[in-house]
Structure 1
Amino acid sequence: MRHDSADSSETTLDATPARALGDFIRAHRERLSPQEVGLPPGPRRRTPGLRREEVAQLCGVSPTWYTWIEQGRPVSASADALARIAVALRLSRAERAYLFELAAQRDPAEPDPTAADAPATLLQTVQLVNAPAYVLDRQWTALAWNEPAADLFTGWLDGDHDRNLLRFTFTEPLGRELIVDWETRARRLAAEFRADSIRHLSDAPTRTLIDSLIASSDEFARFWASQDVFEREGGRREFHHPRHGRIAYDQITFKPAHREDLKLVVLVRL
């Protein structure tokens, strides 16, 4: 009869998040040599890479705390401590992002999207698409759109209107007229925004938007209070257009690499 070793449980897919975080940190510690981080090689080593005590020294944390992190114990790891670990282990940008995702923390070095311009190439992309296409910022305000999008979204992307998708949906009569099965779509939209905005709910622009929508729309206030959370999905979207009648599209949403606060939305005619 075959007996698995006691260590086999360490690599199971149902490992806890804390265990996955510890495994990731340990693997990257073992890849580094003392010389790579400016430490003397010291006596002969039994294990590859840096010692735990050396990483703890580089991070300015206690060896015991660092050991517990690697062992997957349920200890608190602040964003600042994780940032120091990322620097000490020489993690790449992708590796650092993965580290913070594993720890369910926000990287303090992550650029503030509100202070950064949207990539020009992303804004130009909508003009290369023949179907309705637009770019949304983190508050779901349109930053760029093409003519097919302006033609489709009357009252939002045509003329001189407020460019926020949520305000258009919940406070503009034209939004209710344009969107087929408005209540179902609006409820879904509020739940998707709750999920999408969780990392910046305390930011002033997001908080101001939510507060203004709660004050100006009874439906938004009700949907928001329900605490529903849905991942933003594509799929069928139907409209009652004032000139084109009832039309249907398949919606696809893309998130640019390194700027996941932005969205490129394309609607393909069915």
Structure 2
Amino acid sequence: MNPENRLQALSEFLKAKRSKLTPQMAGFPVGTRRRTPGLRREEVAQMAGVSTTWYTWLEQGRDIKVSTSVLDAISNALQLSIDEKKYLYALALEEGPHQEFSQKEEIQISPSLTKILHELRHCPTIITDRRCFIVGWNQAAANIFLDFEQIPAVHRNLIQLLFSRKEFRSLAVNWVHFVRGFIAIFRTYYGQYVADQWYKKFIEEMEESYPEFHQLWNEGEVSSAPEIQIEFRHAKAGKMIFNLTSLQIQGPNDLRLSVYTPVDNTGTELKVKRLIENS
């Protein structure tokens, strides 16, 4: 396997996490002038109990040997979450699948999943694959977001749609907060399938086309299933508030169920019902 993509991703991630830690957060004295935000490399190395040279090589993306004990120490020094730690391990130890997946790969939604989508009739729900392509949705999702049936399957990538379609940009009251959660999920997949060249090409195309994606991607956020509350301003229904829950579907295709549950006592569920009835 060509390690270039993996090591580059590791380098970018470590730099992003280091830049977000202030000296105060790490227990270092305040007052020293710093040319760049965050901790210095030597400070991270000191906390992790490794040499500055070795940590510098790791952060530069050099192909060096690492151990789980050292990665644990670095994770603690950078104050990584559980999901971020898993991402670090996947990149540093080459964990996860090494194969690429065909871009022509077709996902068939099982009858049981189809029934689940139907039963969640008042909860907008979408199903995405490991590349965040939308492969299933219910009527509520079509009414709240957009009619995915009108979008060719090859262009039905959720990450791209969040940036390219005005329907999403105008819908979410806090669009950046809304998008950040999905980018964090996408980065989790990237760490698992970094050998798949599709990811590198897609990220490069998104960064070239959407400066906002470049900025959010460089934040280095990682989350396998962020649970957030999101407020929408729907063109027909007005204010709607949902809790977003992401569920991983066990199986060979790494499918994910994203369910928007109407928040009680906000009138959101009634508005969803009316939208469906009038569609």
TM-score (norm 1): 0.54
Task: For 1:255 and 1:188, locate their aligned partners in 2 and report how far apart those are by CA, in whole Å.
Answer: 15
- Work out whether 1:148 is the aligned partner of 2:140: yes
Pairing 1:137–2:94 present? no
Higher relative contact order (CA 8 A, sep 6+): 2
2:158 to 147, 161, 165: 165
The one of 183, 193, 198 equivalent to 1:200 is: 193
CA drift of 1:133 comes to: 1.4
Cα distance, 1:188 vs structure 2: 3.4
Consecutive unaligned residues in structure 1, runs of 5 or more:
1-73, 76-100
- Whole-Å separation in 2 of the counterparts to 1:121 and 1:111: 27
User: CA, structure 1 residues 113+256, in 2 after alignment: closer, same or farther (shift >3 Å)?
Assistant: farther
- In structure 1, the partner of 2:244 is 251
Task: Give the letter aligned to residue 119 of structure 2.
Answer: L
- Does residue 120 (structure 1) correspond to residue 131 (structure 2)? The answer is no
Which sections of structure 2, spanning at least 5 residues, go unmatched? 1-66, 69-89, 264-279
The answer to whether the aligner puts 1:227 opposite 2:217 as a matched pair is no
Supply the distance in 2 between the matched residues of 1:158 and 1:118 (Cα, whole angstroms): 15
CA deviation profile, 1:48-98 (whole Å, cap 9, x unmatched): xxxxxxxxxxxxxxxxxxxxxxxxxx69xxxxxxxxxxxxxxxxxxxxxxx
RMSD: 3.2
CA deviation after TM superposition for structure 1 residue 149, in Å: 0.6
Superposition TM-score, scaled by structure 2 size: 0.53
Q: Provide the identity percentage.
A: 21
* Superposition deviation, residue 227 in structure 1: 2.3
CA distance in 1 between counterparts of 2:228 and 2:168 reads 19
Q: Aligned to 1:139, what secondary structure does the other structure show? A: coil
For the 8 Å contact 1:191–1:223, the answer to whether it is kept is no
Listed one character per residue, the Cα deviations across residues 202-235 of structure 1 (whole Å, up to 9, x for unaligned) are 3133223212211110010111123232343123
Q: Which structure has the larger Rg over C-alpha atoms? A: 1
- Which letter does structure 1 place at the counterpart of 2:160? R
Whole-Å Cα distance in 2 between the matches of residues 192 and 117 of structure 1?
19
Mapped to 2, the partners of 1:265 and 1:147 lie a distance apart of 14
Matches for 1:9-24 after TM superposition, within 5 Å:
none
Identify if the C-alpha distance between structure 1 residues 151 and 119 changes in structure 2 by more than 3 Å, giving closer, same or farther: closer
1:180–1:228 Cα change, 3 Å: same
Q: Secondary structure at the match of 2:249?
A: coil
Counterpart-to-counterpart distance in 2, 1:254 and 1:185: 17
Instruction: Name which of 194, 202, 211 aligns with 1:209.
Output: 202
1:34-183 → structure 2 map (5 Å cutoff): 105-106=95-96, 115=105, 117-121=107-111, 123-124=113-114, 125-130=116-121, 131-154=123-146, 157=148, 159-160=150-151, 162-183=155-176
